[in-house]
Amino acid sequence: MRVFDHFLRYKKHFVLGPIFKLLEAIFELLLPLLMARIIDEGILNHDLNTITKVGLMMLALTISGYGFSIICQYFASVASQGVGTSLRNALYQKINELTQEQVQHLGSNTLTTRINSDVNQIQLAVAMLIRLAVRAPFIVIGSVVLAGIINLQLTAIFVAVMILIALVLYSTMRKSIPFYRRIQGKIDQLTLVLSENLSGVRVIRAFAAQHRETKRFKEASQDVRQDLIRVGRIAAVMNPLTYLFVNCGILLVLWFGGKQVDGGLLLSGQVVALVNYLTQIFLALVVVANITVIFTRGFASSARVNEILKLQPQFTEGALDVIPSSFTQLEVQDLGFRYQDSHIDFLQHISFTVEEGEILGIIGGTGSGKSTLAYLLNRLYDASCGRILFYGRELKDYRFKTLRDSIGLVMQKNALLSGTLRYNLGLSDPSIDDERMIEALRVAQAYDFVFKDKQGLDAVIEQGGKNLSGGQRQRLCIARTLCKQPRILILDDSFSALDYATDYALRSALRSTYPHMTMVFISQRISSIQYANQILVLDQGKQVSLGTHDELLKASVVYQEIYRSQNGGAEHD
């Protein structure tokens, strides 16, 4: 669904709103004629009855016009806010449908800008479209027509002034519109710098880099500021020039109109009406210029939002929602993976088999592909070549919910949502009872620190879990995954913030509590995986060894090097 499709939900508002605004504009165009009548028939003839009657008509038109304007404003508000809400929901849903690789490629900063700033620009454009897009041109045309009815000769002044003002507005917009388009892109960069500084504030302080990062933010902010100043300078020329042309037009109307009044060809009230119409043309053209800028920014934002809405996920879910039971639980066959826009395979020729209830350990140096393999096993990424079979069927055959209920992944980077602990633990299924949550907390070695506070499961988790230590966040993330009791549990370096005693206690509790659960331990520590049924050794994205701890110590050079580095250079007996 594109941006325009969200407008169609408010067709009634886009039709009725301008109609009521048009009625208000008609009443506004009639007011100068009535004022002319008061002057020419009432004041000059000292006719109080005419002044009263026409004055009441003007009051009635003003009140009616105000009422129509309020109705139009209501339709504009409902439509603009409705379109904005609908677009934000659609963008959020689309972002959640995209693969992890696509989201990382786009960047969180540009997604945040598009779901907030760009949608706000579209909302403003919608509101102005309903309120002013019909009214302003109608006022200009109507003023010229009515001025021509009053005096055709003086209408030439109107046309000349209108052309001059239009030229000023056109040249102003032609120079300023590219700046507005560029500014939206620079706001992305400013958001990126801001988000990096906020998320990495501890790192910045640890390296005493506040001054350098402050300078970096100021440079990005200054870049946006300079473009805004340039636009402001261009726009600053518009008002003086347009006022100059309008005032010159008024002088000419008064000059030539006064001569025609002296000659008896024109009445004083009609001259006042002509001046009012000239002023209305000026104001309407300024409105046209402003809404043109708003529409330009709205169109630019609409294109940026459409870029996200028209994206298709790199892969889609299958239809299988029943897990077979008569096949090998997990089988990886000659697996390869290549990141987007990369020309080389990051993972190559990975093959292994895991039976139900077994433990697979995965180890390797930094950047060897351990986390990428974990994402592939949970189908956050799709393999470039080879296959991953889950109970005899490829991962792509399963529905996402079925697959991810069965394969639980605790990622290397902990992510807790703001809210209560109960909300976080029930993320997979809000109906999970407290008993299962408490059991998961016990296994994850998190029970003691959770229930030392009276709040217990209702304890508040701040954004990102910043009110918890790194080890506490890791254990709560493990407990959250255990709550859904998956068939396969993948722990991607999820013990890194734990001491050795807690690490051992957690692994022991996992095996004793869930003896039939298959587990994949990805770790930098040999002590965390040495008792696994088999250990996969990765080096620079390649599978170099597969076997038990004792087998690898005899046959794998890479594993031997890791073992020596973690045991003070000691050789294995």
Q: What is the pLDDT of residues 277-336, one digit of tens each?
A: 888 887 887 788 778 778 877 888 888 888 888 888 888 888 888 887 767 889 999 999
pLDDT reported for residue 126 = 92
Locus of tokens 């140096």: 365
With a CB cutoff of 8 Å and minimum separation 6, the contacts of 331 are 352, 353, 354, 387, 388, 389
Q: What is the pLDDT of residues 358-395, one digit of tens each?
A: 999 999 888 888 989 999 998 888 888 899 999 888 99
Prediction pTM value? 0.75
pLDDT reported for residue 572 = 54
DSSP string, 259-275: HHHHTTSS-HHHHHHHH
Higher local confidence (pLDDT), 173 or 93 = 93
pLDDT reported for residue 509 = 92
> Per CATH, which fold does 3-309 belong to?
ABC transporter transmembrane region fold (1.20.1560)
With a CB cutoff of 8 Å and minimum separation 6, the contacts of 272 are 32, 35, 36, 39
With a CB cutoff of 8 Å and minimum separation 6, the contacts of 291 are 128, 129, 132, 133, 136
CA distance 322 to 336: 27
Residue pair 489/405 in contact (Cβ under 8 Å)? The answer is no
pLDDT reported for residue 535 = 93
**Can you tell me the mean pLDDT for 62-78?**
93
Lowest mean pLDDT among 27-36, 60-69, 189-198: 189-198
Model confidence at 47: pLDDT above 70: yes
Q: Please, which residues bridge with residue 393 across strands?
A: 390
pLDDT reported for residue 101 = 79
Q: What is the pLDDT of residues 100-112, one digit of tens each?
A: 878 888 877 788 8
Please list, residue by residue across 48-60, b when 16 or more beta carbons sit within 10 angstroms of its beta carbon and e when fewer do.
eebbeebeeebee
pLDDT reported for residue 1 = 62
Class of domain 330-566: alpha beta
CA distance 544 to 556: 8
Domain boundaries, the chain: 3-309, 330-566
Model confidence at 570: pLDDT above 80: no
pLDDT reported for residue 78 = 94
Model confidence at 88: pLDDT above 90: yes
| Helix or strand (DSSP H, E) at 450 | helix 447-451
If we measure between CA atoms, which residue out of 357, 359, 358, 381 comes closest to residue 369? 381
Domains 3-309 and 330-566 share a fold: no
